Amino acid sequence: MTQESLTEKLATHLMRPVDEATRQRARLHLLDWLGCVAGALKSELGTLPKDIFDIRPSVEAAWLGNLLEMDDIHRSAILHPGPVVWGTVFGNQIGDMDEIVDAAVRGYDAIICIGATLDDGHYAMWHNTSTAGIFGAAVTACHLFEPEMDYNALVSAMGLAGSVAGGLWQMRHEQGQAKQWHISHAAETGWRAADAVLEGVVGPRFILEGPQGLYAATCKNPKPMTFPDQWRIHEVSFKPWGACRHAHPAIDAALELKAKLGALDGDIHVETYVDAIGFCDRPDPQTVIDAKFSLQHAVAVVAERGVPQLSDFEPDAIAALTDARARVTVSEAGDITTRYPEHYGARVTCGGEAIELVDTLGDPERPLPKEGIIEKARTLIAWGGLDDKEADRAIDLVLNGDDPADIHEMLSEWLS
C-alpha cells in the first residue's frame, strides 16, 4: 500500500461538508477583510501605481487587506489567513454565496493546518502567512473552480503551490512593501496552481515532509499536523486595534491597568513573550509601520489617549508621543513565552500595580461580538474615505446577500 502524504490526509479532511454556523462565521471574516481593504484605500501604501496589479483586481485587494495591520490572525499558526483567502476568492466571479464561503472555509483550514506545523526555526526566518498561505490559496481556488473538486486535483494543487512557497522576514529590517507583496503573491500563485491542475499538471504529493520538501528546507522540528472536527476558522482571532497583533496584549493590559488606576503616570513596564519583543521592541518609531510594530508607542497611546484609534499611529501622533514612549520599557517574561503561541499575553506594571492578561481581545476566549465586528468595519470604511451608505451596503451584501457578484462589483468600485 502506498504511503499517504500529509497533503493527501489534509485533502481528505477538507472534503467534508461545511455547516451553516461556519458559513455565518466566514461571512463575518469576509466583512472584516472588506473593512480592512476599504480602510487602506487612502493609505500612502494603498495608492501605488495600478499597473503593478494588472493581473486581477483581487491581487490589489489582497495587498490592501493587510496594510493597516487589522486583518484576522490565527495564534498558533502565527499568520493572517484572511487577506490571502479572500483575495483568492474575489479573483473571479465564480459560484454562489455558499460556494465561495465554503471555498474560503476550506482555504482557512488548509492555511492553519499547515501553518500550525511550522516551528520556531521557520518563523525566525519565514513569513508564515506567505509560506502557508499559498497552500490555502490553492485549496480555495480549487473549490471555486470545481465545488466538487476531486481529491487528486486538490493534492496536486497544494503540491504545485507549496513547491514555490516562500517569503523571508528580511523586510522587517527595511522600509518597503514586501509584506503585502507576499500576500498578493500567495493569492495569485495559489490561483495559478489550481488553474494548472485543471489543465492536467501534476504536483508533488510529499511537498511538506519529503526529503527536499518544505519542512526539510525551512524547519528544524516541524509539529504534527492535526485535524480537529470543528472547522478552524472558528479558531481565528479578530483584531480590534490597528497595530501588530504582538502589540495587542500590551495594549489590552495597559487599558485595564489604566481603568483600575485612573491614569498611567510615571514609568510603565511591559513584560511579554519573546516574539512580541523581537517584532515590536521599537522605542523610536519613524514611520506609520514602525509605530504599528512598536510596543512602546502602543502603550504610550493608551497612557496619553486611551483606546487606540487609527489616527494614533499616524505621523502627527508619532511626533506627539515621543516623551510618553520614553516612559515605556519592555522585556521578555519566560512564563508568558511558555504559553505562546497558544496564548498571546502581557503584563503591564505602573505605579506599583500590575495587570496580566493571558488572552487578547478578539481571541476565541475573549471574543469580539458580532456588533463589534460590524462597528470595526464601519470605522475602517469611513477611515478609507467612503460614506455611511457604502458601509451599509457592505454589511448588507456580506451578512444578508446571496450573490457574491454584488460584492465583487462593490470591491471593483472601491478599487477603481
Q: What is the CATH number of domain 245-357?
A: 3.30.1330.120
Q: What angle (nearest 5°) sits at the alpha carbon of residue 45, between those of residues 56 and 312?
A: 135
- How far apart are the C-alpha atoms of 356 and 268, rounded to whole Å? 13
Helix (H, G, I), strand (E, B) or coil at 354: strand
Q: What are the tens digits of pLDDT across the range 13-57?
A: 999 999 999 999 999 999 999 999 999 998 765 555 555 555 454
pLDDT above 70 covers what percent of the chain? 95
Domain boundaries, the chain: 6-240+368-415, 245-357
The span from the first CA to the last CA of the chain, in angstroms, equals 54
The architecture that CATH gives domain 6-240+368-415 is Orthogonal Bundle (1.10)
Quote the pLDDT of residue 247: 97
Q: What are the tens digits of pLDDT across the range 58-96?
A: 567 888 899 899 999 999 999 999 999 999 998 766 789
Q: Say whether pLDDT at 309 is over 90.
A: yes
Q: Is the dihedral of CA 245, 248, 250, 251 positive or negative?
A: positive
What is the mean predicted confidence (pLDDT) over 226-240?
A: 97
Residues in Cβ contact with 398 at an 8 Å cutoff, skipping those fewer than 6 apart: 27, 30, 31, 34, 407
Q: What are the tens digits of pLDDT across the range 181-206?
A: 899 899 999 999 999 999 999 999 99
